[in-house]
Structure 1
Amino acid sequence: MTQFNCFNLKPFMLEALTKKGFEEPTAVQKKLIPVIFNGRSVVGESQTGSGKTHTFLIPIMNELNTKRDEVQAIITTPSRELAEQIYQAAIELASFSGEEMRVASYVGGTDKKRQIEKLKNQQPHLVIGTPGRILDLIENQALKSYTAKTLVIDEADMTLDMGFLEEVDKIASTLPNNLQMLVFSATIPEKLKPFLKKYMDNPVVEHIKSSTIISDTIENWLIPNKGQNQNQAIYSLLTMGNPYLAMVFANTKERVDEITEYLKAQGLKVAKIHGGIQPRERKRVMKSIQNLDYQYVVATDLAARGIDIEGVSLVINAEVPRDLEFFIHRVGRTGRNGMSGVAITLYSPQDEQAIGELEKLGIKFEPKIIRQGEIVDSYDRNRRTQREKSQKQLDPKMIGLVKKKKKKVKPAYKKKIKYAISENDRQKRKVERRQTDRSKRKSRKQDY
């Protein structure tokens, strides 16, 4: 018996969730589904992969009135891929209803003229899409948004970052005053708060903390990229085992293209995803990936946020992301739904500060190295710093003398202690000079 029974869902919805293998609601679903059913506006701050999509889809789809020929809810997303993913999830739930639930997807790069013609005859019950295209259809008086009672802004921080908040604002302004607004995001930036205050009256704000920054089902490895060909290292890591599905992340479209071409030249069948690929082609590639036509995917951070690609067992960060928050999103593509996964980050000396910042966030790395075609345990990269710190410490004898110095002792004995400490320091400097001179002599010999 599924634990979703506690939400008093309609039979078709319970059947749909059972068929999907959903047995227990996630933390964000437990907290917010009852609140959404009560008609309250919501701000849900939760990590990627926490079940946000079904947190708003379940109550919306459950309450759609198929007898009303009007738009009842609008869901905006910052990317076409995420819109497609939510659309497919909604279609899947609707297929169990036994009644016609009209779900429409409107994104840039699709046939707007055809969409306008279709809207003249019939309005969808649920609208899912990117802000620009939805607003375009509203301004063309094709999409009758004013009947919608619910507006969902998914991945709100990404919507802000990509400059779509103005379009979302205009969409919201066309909706009724008693609007229920559901905002979901991994983070809620300060710049987003004036917008939320404008449209949300006393919303329920929930920050669902993850027990760990990265799922404990993920092995998080750190491998130095010391002077070796990085593309060769990526190829080696991909082919050492046999990943069910592997994703390689890079920071730019150009780097994604470069890695993809190299891997293809080695005989691998590789898909790539980035913003420079035409929308129709991106949609085709995403569908092929979902159908497991590819074992290897190379992508920019476009695919790290929100897009759910099932079965990823290996993630490789070819580069440390510029925005460190994306590290969590990238790594979170694997180890989902309790499955195990491996995340590997290749790093060079200039990445030390970024790696340190990630460690401050609570992310723990296992140091590894590639040796003779195998990944083996390595030393902690901070070992040199730690050794230097320990070498600077006084030896036990000196520590004892320092402690004695703090006590009240005879003047002559104070001088003796002071001399012993000073002599100890002098001897250390002498040893260090010898080591330096020896290193210089060795270096000169090697030059000849």
Structure 2
Amino acid sequence: MGKLTALLFMIMFFIGTDTFLISPLIPTLQELFDIPTEISGWMVGAYALGYAIFALIAGPLSDGWDRKKVMFCGMLCFSLATILCGFATGFWSMLLFRFLAGISAAFTSPQVWASIPVLFPPAKNAKVLGIVMAGLASAQAFGIPIGGLLASTHWSYPFYVIGACSLAVSIFIHFALPSMKPNQDRRTRLPIFQRYLPLLTSRIARRSFLGHFLFNCGFMAAFAFIGKSMTDRFALSVDQVGYVMFFLGLGNLAGSFGGAYIIQRFNRFNTLAGGFLVATACFIALPFMPSVAAFDGVYFFVFMNMGIAFPLIMGLLTSLNPSIRGTISSLGNSIMYAATTLGSWLAGLIYANFNGFVGVAVFAALCFAGALFYFVSSGILTGQTEARNKLAS
């Protein structure tokens, strides 16, 4: 059981690292490929776009296939696409390879969340979800430093190393994971987009996914402008912002590892509600922090809350209907990336037109308050079994 947990952790770590990997390389690649700043961000956006679009297809398909095979093929393609990024000869080839990596990740990571309730007993689910989320948190903390360190020798090395490590992980998937045959529920035989009907027609599911969207939209809006706000207010260098991000990533990591204990002690409702209220207060206070240390200290709690809340939310969503876990997990991931895209774009407009980070922080606080409202009003926090039965009926 420990080996399976470690394997799922490593899958999410390498996928998460690849997500953050290109950020420190943008100035180098911009100069190498001779592209303007206005479009350089698409080397990041291509990955998110591929993920967001194809996750909607990958989920329903995976509910009718063996999850082990889907995870293995997805991770294998992900490793090859990442390695190909190191061979990119220009902007368009890099865009294509990043897009392919995003598609591959869309088939892989949702299987991780959907497989946990199958591979582990219910009593272990919260703990395993937290550890797997820690894989993403670790990538957030270490992805940028790893990319920067490897790129100091040559820009292509990060892609080769992460791709090779992902290839090794795909081999372990093939030999270590048991087969997870599809549930023969009639919904797994429906056309792809008809499998979303139980979610679209359920008030519980609609409100829960809307809460999930607002949660990610608010967090990523503020996340996108941490560096700029600290540079503008405290005149930090790029290296110093990197150290700040590393520290905040540790907060996410702490929340991921400690989330299971906190949920067990305070229950799901109190954990999510209390965490969101604290995060909302933190966002409101952030623009008025007088020093870098105070800013970091307050933001640490926001990241720690993210580490606790995200696996809790994914666990609640995937438990809505066991027969379509892949569909639910993929929809949740697609919504997360769509919220990331929209939140980052809106944050840029708000930052430029509404008093800088003050406006962004208020927007994030409102998103978290809205997310809490929809999660509570959906009933998923207080009546999970009833909610699941209603959705499955």
Q: Considering the TM-score relative to the shorter chain, is it more than 0.5?
A: no
Report which of the two has the higher share of strand.
Answer: 1
Report the structure, 1 or 2, having the larger helix content: 2
Larger Rg: 1
TM, length-normalised to structure 2: 0.25
> Which one has more relative contact order, counting CA pairs under 8 Å at least 6 apart?
2
